[in-house]
Chains A and B, each alone.
Chain A
Amino acid sequence: MTYQLETAAHPETLRRVAIDPVSRVEGHGKVTILLDDQNKVHQVRLHIVEFRGFEKFIQGRPYWEVPVMVQRLCGICPVSHHLAASKALDVIVGAKKLTATAEKMRRLMHYGQMLQSHALHFFHLCSPDLLFGFDSDVTKRNIVGVAMAHPETAKRGVLLRRFGQEVIRVTAGKRVHGTGAIPGGVNKALTVAERDELLKDIYHIVQWSRDAVQLIQKVHTQDPGLYNSFGIFRSNFMSIVGNNGDLDFYHGTLRARDDNGKIIFDHVDYQQYNQYIEEEVRPWSYMKFPFFKSIGKEHGWYKVGPLARVQNCNQISTPFAEHERKEFVDYAGGSPMHAPLAYHWTRMIEMLHAAEVIKELLHDDDLLGSDLMVQGERQMEGVGVIEAPRGTLFHHYRVDENDLVTMANLIVSTTNNNQAMNEAIRHVARRYLHGHEVTEGLLNHIEVAIRAFDPCLSCATHALGKMPLEVELVDPEGRIVHSLSRS
């Protein structure tokens, strides 16, 4: 847990290699690597180059607009932002407990999203690396190559995602950027026809999800030397957990563990998240670096997402996914697994769980109810937290007496993984690039490490007015005429 390789002592003497853009991730980012004459690595950074601004321009808008506006942060998991914002605004409108129909409709929407996002990431973005090898022929290392060599796998990937999108459509009105959740509840229930249409497919969706777990488990366990050590670093980890410590993507309390699995905090009401988590700004990235306050900046950073969640919970409530969780925990040998490539395995366990939960919900008549909304005593501030596909997502708003938002703070899943991703690529750079001639295949190793986290870089750069900026005016000879900085 150190900042080794973050900043080289004399960057001006070093050669710069850039991976720009990082491919097969959501959003735009780049990696810069500084090497000396012997190709020894001195600095590795994952830069997030997008610039968004939602926290700023949501200010002054009416609060009921927020869940629909902020979901535009992302086109891959907009449901996460839609629901996290809605949960924060439930607090604002005094809706302490939603109706059964409202909560289950939101859960169905969210688990549908989990299914489609995990399927997209595994099949479309990562399966080329996992099935063909990290430095395999670059012209075939893509989803088209997978479709040619493994047509059934590629087809299932597409259909799993389509099913998840269909779940979102019937709960939110559209496959992308719908309006289903509103402060205090939802604006629609499921119709019998919509439910029956989903029921036709859910059984083979569950089976395909089981097969996907088997596939990644096989890939992982066949090459433990690579999969257990590639990009490895030890860190704390965090997620929300549901009742009895169950894996829960929609609601729960915050739990954090250290790298040995020892509890750092547990049963934390996320309304108090800012007593436990703080964010650090560094001058070279638009993405902030969160850490646990009790441990401090240097050692308090953590990872989130499937690898954190599956190891943070006590159990999974659905039988097939719980069986797979136990297999994973047994394989890890009783202590937390930190290998980034194990994210893929746990992600597929989560996809299976999402499919099983959707199946359970589709047999629940509460989804067909008509009691959609509750309200209570109006509050001025609210926090909503959800487990998004990529990890824990925080939305925090203050609203004035005229119903306008005065403050918004978002800590996005990928932001939580910022330091973790940087550590993983530094490890890979040390292990594979250090002292070697740089090739496309070697650089793809860096990207493989980043992809394991399924980062969404567009979501992660939502702040405006807070990032440090340095502006330099340089004359034709390269001399700095004027410089301006904001920290």
Chain B
Amino acid sequence: MSYTFTLDGKVVPFVDGQTIIQAASAAGIFIPHLCYHPEFKPHGSCKLCTVKVNGRHTASCTMRAAPGMVVESETEEINAERRALTQMLFVEGNHFCPSCEKSGNCQLQATAYHLGMMSAHYDHFFPNRAVDASHPEALLDFNRCILCSLCVRASRDVDGKNVFGLSGRGIKTHLIVNAKSGRLADTDFTLADKAAQVCPVGVILKKRQGFAVPIGERKYDKAPISETAETTEGR
């Protein structure tokens, strides 16, 4: 059966079982998100996709669409909350866009631009996080992890390898490699894995690639995140 709800006043069709963000994407409407990926079960952790449904906050990646819902997304209030969440992600890790090879291809950076983030606003934590360069083909730079868990889900659900996991609780939550040594080299991870391709930031990187794509030809140089095909039609 096909139904509709309204999103910022626009009528959005959906089918049974679709979440709000899935229906919005199918209709070409962008809702900011980081931990959501159309190929994986929703995680609902980053809260960037928060919308108001009938006046109450909810994550649009986990809330199923229902007929007649009144959904608000692009409002000043919600975008201010999204911007604050994004700023918190920036200060919790070490995100140095000027020297990051993911710059221009980074979903966190593109989202910050989309939300009009002009500064980090909060004091930086400057956490001391290591780089795992043990794997011959891939580099893990934990400084940039935003705990979206996409690599965890991809490795577990698609690759069947369980290479990654989230450990610790609350503010101490961190990404780990499931090996006795804790090193990526001691796992069966390869660049062909789905987990190697889903990182929205610059944690899982193909080695020796660096800045091979010139400025002007990077993903978000060509179009803002709200207009890229991946975000509106599914990756």
The chain A residues found within 8 Å of chain B, CB to CB, are 60-62, 64-65, 67-69, 72, 93, 172-174, 177-180, 182-183, 187-188, 402-404
Q: Chain B nearest CB: distance from A380 CB in Å?
A: 14
Neighbour of B214 across the interface among A65, A69, A180, CB < 8 A = A180
In this complex, which of A64, A183, A188, A403 has the most chain B Cβ atoms within 10 angstroms of its Cβ? Answer: A64
Neighbour of B211 across the interface among A60, A187, A403, CB < 8 A = A187
A60 and B133 CA atoms in complex are apart in Å by: 9
Known A62-B133, A403-B208: A179·B139 in contact at CB below 8 Å: no
Q: Nearest chain-A residue to B205 (Cβ)?
A: A62
Interface pair A174/B211, CB less than 8 Å apart = no
Known A64-B210, A182-B211, A187-B214: A69·B99 in contact at CB below 8 Å: yes
Q: Chain A nearest CB: distance from B205 CB in Å?
A: 8
Interface pair A402/B214, CB less than 8 Å apart = no
- B176-213 Cβ-contact flags toward A at 8 Å (1 or 0): 00000000000000000000000000000001111111
Interface of A is mostly: loop
- B171 an interface residue at 8 Å Cβ cutoff? no
A381 and B128 CA atoms in complex are apart in Å by: 27
A452 and B87 CA atoms in complex are apart in Å by: 44
Neighbour of B215 across the interface among A65, A178, A403, CB < 8 A = A178
- B9 an interface residue at 8 Å Cβ cutoff? no
9 A-B pairs within 8 Å (CB atoms) are namely A62-B133, A64-B101, A64-B211, A69-B98, A174-B215, A179-B211, A182-B211, A403-B208, A404-B133
Q: Chain A nearest CB: distance from B213 CB in Å?
A: 7
**Beyond A64-B210, A180-B214, A182-B210, 8 extra complex contacts between A and B, CB < 8 Å:** A65-B100, A67-B211, A69-B99, A72-B98, A179-B211, A183-B210, A402-B134, A403-B133
Q: Chain A nearest CB: distance from B132 CB in Å?
A: 9
Interface pair A64/B209, CB less than 8 Å apart = yes
A64 and B99 CA atoms in complex are apart in Å by: 10
Neighbour of B216 across the interface among A60, A65, A173, A182, CB < 8 A = A173
Interface pair A72/B214, CB less than 8 Å apart = no
Interface size bracket, B side = 10 to 19
Neighbour of A65 across the interface among B99, B134, B212, B213, CB < 8 A = B99
Interface pair B214/A188, CB less than 8 Å apart = yes
- What residues of chain A lie closer than 8 Å to B210, measured between beta carbons? 62, 64-65, 68, 182-183
Interface of B is mostly: loop
Neighbour of B99 across the interface among A72, A172, A173, A188, CB < 8 A = A72
Known A64-B209, A68-B211, A182-B212: A177·B98 in contact at CB below 8 Å: yes
Known A62-B139, A64-B209, A65-B101: A179·B131 in contact at CB below 8 Å: no
- What residues of chain A lie closer than 8 Å to B98, measured between beta carbons? 68-69, 72, 177
A164 and B211 CA atoms in complex are apart in Å by: 23
- What residues of chain B lie closer than 8 Å to A61, measured between beta carbons? 131
In this complex, which of A174, A177, A178, A403 has the most chain B Cβ atoms within 10 angstroms of its Cβ? Answer: A403
- What residues of chain A lie closer than 8 Å to B139, measured between beta carbons? 62, 403
A187 and B210 CA atoms in complex are apart in Å by: 10
A173 and B134 CA atoms in complex are apart in Å by: 32
A183 and B209 CA atoms in complex are apart in Å by: 10
- What residues of chain A lie closer than 8 Å to B212, measured between beta carbons? 182, 187
Interface pair B211/A62, CB less than 8 Å apart = no
Q: Chain B nearest CB: distance from A180 CB in Å?
A: 7
In this complex, which of A93, A183, A187 has the most chain B Cβ atoms within 10 angstroms of its Cβ? Answer: A187
- What residues of chain A lie closer than 8 Å to B209, measured between beta carbons? 64
- What residues of chain B lie closer than 8 Å to A178, measured between beta carbons? 215
- B149-181 Cβ-contact flags toward A at 8 Å (1 or 0): 000000000000000000000000000000000
- What residues of chain A lie closer than 8 Å to B133, measured between beta carbons? 62, 402-404
Q: Nearest chain-B residue to A178 (Cβ)?
A: B215
Q: Chain A nearest CB: distance from B142 CB in Å?
A: 12
The 5 closest A-B pairs by CB, nearest first: A173-B215, A64-B210, A69-B99, A402-B133, A188-B214
A179 and B217 CA atoms in complex are apart in Å by: 12
Residues of chain B from 91 to 147 with CB closer than 8 A to chain A in the complex: 98-101, 131, 133-134, 139
A244 and B22 CA atoms in complex are apart in Å by: 67
Interface pair A173/B131, CB less than 8 Å apart = no
A172 and B98 CA atoms in complex are apart in Å by: 14
Q: Chain B nearest CB: distance from A181 CB in Å?
A: 9
